[in-house]
Amino acid sequence: MTQYQPPLRDMQFVMHEVLNVVDELKQCPKHAELDADMINAVLEEGGKFAAEVLLPLNLSGDAEGCVLDKTTHEVTPPQGFKAAYAKYVEGGWPAMGCDPEYGGQGLPVVLNQSLYEMMNSANQAWTMYPGLSHGAYEALHAHGTAEQKATYLPRLTSGEWTGTMCLTEAHCGTDLGLLRSKAEPQADGNYKITGNKIFISAGEHDMVENIVHLVLARISGAPEGSKGISLFIVPKFLVNVDGTLGARNGIFCSGLEHKMGIHANSTCQMVLDGAVGSLVGALNKGLAAMFVMMNAARLGVGNQSLGLTEVAYQNAAAYAKDRIQMRSLSGPKAPDKPADPIIVHPDVRKMLLTARAYAEGGRALSIHVAVTLDKFLSSDDEDTRKEAFDEVALLTPIIKAFITDNAWIATSHCMQVFGGHGFIHDWGMEQFVRDSRINMIYEGTNTIQSLDLLGRKVLGDNGAKLRKFGARIAAFVEEEGTDEAMQEFINPLAELGDKVTKLTTEIGMKAFRNPDEVGAAAVDYLRVVGHLTFAYFWARMAKVALAKQGSGDPFYKAKLATARFYFAKLLPETAALIRTARAGLPALMEMDEALF
């Protein structure tokens, strides 16, 4: 049985001691009453729900999986999932980050994201059922009509209904311009939609009375490609004028995907057979509306991998302290035992510290982005909103790709710590590895995120967004540059910042001559910039830990040790990445296709 202790102390450290979240959010009128005690209380209760309600269902849910009744097209999730969801709703958790106008609590995004990190650690598959609902809520809140909002938002806010996003089709993954789903206008202003969707997470289940599908389709006569796509609300059950449920709509699950991981989440093949849908937003502008949900999902997937990294680390660290095998090369460390605990061995420590450094660095970045998103959503100053929007846009592909890549590394390391036991289902470690692998693929593969970062977010505006974030790093370097104790963190951060500037310029010049150079460098480039962001937040955390290490609190000693490990053992990866990014296109394109 796996164990999990919500990382409340580290969350509080990042929020209150490093990022000063309360002071940042008090500048937004809607969060003026927020204080540290409220944040801590919410996180503590959320951690209890994750550890006490969700964690016990994780292993059993993975073993049991979901069951499809092909006669009724109904899907039954694993035992206990429906009851856990009822407790989730009873606790008011779905409403936490939603608009009070629709029954929400109006709390900041950063609290919702931290709750979801803990729930993902405890049970990623379960967390995906309510997880997509919030994305559907955001899309309708931003683009829905007054009538659509009144009908759907209160029920998504309360958790009475859940939501999905139906994008992918078998012949097109990320390239949504190729989709074939059709929408035919009806006399009553609605549309009848026909098509097939695949990989729809939580597409069918019995945990709620209704599921609100957001579906991309092309209206007859619309332009080809992505410019002719519209977005529709397609509920599982039609909704009457008075809000009661009507007839079963023509959208149903025709099959469940048998996946490598997240077995307990119903990943569905969905058939739309004349399903009734209502248009969301403008005609042929569906991708713009759906991007609200897609960006939320990308941040959410990064959060899933952050949660897996944390729980994998906790279990591997506990095992390494208990498991005895061989003696330390420098002599026995536990002479009273027949062998030493494996945590004395340097490479075991390297694997554990890699996972810990990636978890704590990812948490700092994720909380920062969540607070920045809160500023965009809640500030009454347009300049603040614009700067926040640009920064979230820049960092979203890094959250999605860098944190999920790191989770794959970290969960694999943590499974390795268990040796042969790591492959055994009952220990839980192989499940973390399987679950983490999908996070690198869905919601836009990590290569797509890399192309988005380099092509759109950096070169697309001639580096303006990157320069803004780089200026923040440069100001910190300037401020701390004379502090001798900070040099081990500041010097490599400053050096990497300069290298990123030069690398960006070099790739940009190559891409001007041949755009394929972006594709050749993008994946390495994202990882370099990912390390730049982690190095910045690790340096900020080290600054606080240095100032408070005299308090005697071992937390700060551990934070400094992890920071030093990150800069000594993980950040140097950037040297090789920069070299391979600079190698460019020729080595990739020289071989004739027929020779593959």
pLDDT tens track of the chain, all 596 residues? Answer: 799 999 999 999 999 999 999 999 999 999 999 999 999 999 999 999 999 999 999 999 999 999 999 999 999 999 999 999 999 999 999 999 999 999 999 999 999 999 999 999 999 999 999 998 988 999 999 999 999 999 999 999 999 999 999 989 998 877 777 899 999 999 999 999 999 999 999 999 999 999 999 999 999 999 998 889 999 999 999 999 999 999 999 999 999 999 999 999 999 999 999 999 999 999 998 887 777 777 888 999 999 999 999 999 999 999 999 999 999 999 999 999 999 999 999 999 999 999 999 999 999 999 999 999 999 999 999 999 999 999 999 999 999 999 999 999 999 999 999 999 999 999 999 999 999 999 999 888 999 999 999 999 999 999 999 999 999 999 999 999 999 999 999 999 999 999 999 999 999 999 999 999 999 999 999 999 999 999 999 999 999 999 999 999 999 999 999 999 999 999 999 999 999 999 999 999 999 999 99
Query: What's the number of domains the chain is made of?
Result: 3
pLDDT at 178: 86
Cα pseudo-dihedral 110, 493, 474, 27, rounded to 10: 10
* Domain assignment of residue 127, yes or no: yes
CATH number of the domain within which 178 lies: 2.40.110.20
Task: Indicate if 178 and 278 belong to the same structural domain.
Answer: yes
526 plus 469 within the same structural domain: yes
Q: Does residue 237 form part of some domain?
A: yes
Confidence (pLDDT) at 286: 85
Asked if residue 345 belongs to a domain, the reply is no
Same domain, 122 and 179: no
**pLDDT at residue 550 in the model:** 93
pLDDT of residue 125: 98
Q: Tell whether 177 and 276 lie within a shared domain.
A: yes
| pLDDT, position 12 | 98
In a domain, residue 263? The reply is yes
pLDDT score at 226: 83
Looking at the structure, tell me whether residues 86 and 38 fall in a common domain.
Answer: yes
**Quick one: 194 and 118 in the same domain?**
no
d(CA 343, CA 328): 10
* Cα separation, 307 vs 428, whole angstroms: 14
Quick one: 556 and 475 in the same domain?
yes
pLDDT score recorded for residue 294: 77
DSSP 481: T
Helix axes 487-513, 516-548, angle to 10 degrees: 170
Is 381 inside a domain boundary? no
> CA-CA distance, 426 to 101, in Å (whole number)?
45
Please state, in angstroms and as integers, the Cα–Cα distance from residue 312 to each residue in 302, 321, 523, 563, following that order. 15, 14, 25, 19
What DSSP string runs through 270-316? EEEEEEEEEEESSTTBHHHHHHHHHHHHHHHHHHHHHHHHHHHHHHH
- The two three-digit tokens of residue 197, written as one number: 């969707």
Question: In this structure, is residue 422 part of a structural domain?
Answer: no
Residues 582 and 495 in one domain: yes
On whether residue 130 sits in a domain, the answer given is: yes
Q: Report the Cα–Cα distance between both ends of the chain, in Å, rounded.
A: 45
Residue that terminates a domain, selected from 143, 173, 194: 143
Rounded CA-CA distance 569/405 in Å is: 17
What are the residue numbers of the active site? 443
Picking from 258, 283, 308, the residue at the C-terminal end of a domain is 283
Structure tokens at 536: 């910045």
3-state SS of 304-349?
HHHHHHHHHHHHHHHHHHHCECCCCCCCCCCCCCCCCEHHHCHHHH
**C-alpha 473 chain-centroid distance:** 24
pLDDT for position 135: 86
Q: Based on the fold, state whether residues 461 and 511 are members of the same structural domain.
A: yes
131 occurs within a structural domain: yes
138 with 195, same domain: the answer is no
Strands 230-235 and 210-219: antiparallel
Q: What per-residue confidence (pLDDT) applies to 588?
A: 96
| Residues comprising the chain, all counted | 596
> Under a CB-based contact definition with an 8 Å cutoff, are residues 123 and 55 in contact?
yes
Q: Answer yes or no: do 124 and 221 share one domain.
A: no
Give residue 188's domain range: 162-283
pLDDT for 501 equals 97
Beta-bridge partner residues of 214: 165, 233
Which CATH number does the domain housing residue 39 bear? 1.10.540.10
Same domain? For 567 and 484 the reply is yes
Among 283, 317, 347, the domain boundary falls at: 283
Nearest to 300 by CA among 129, 103, 550, 177: 129
Which of 193, 198, 191 is CA-nearest to residue 164? Answer: 198
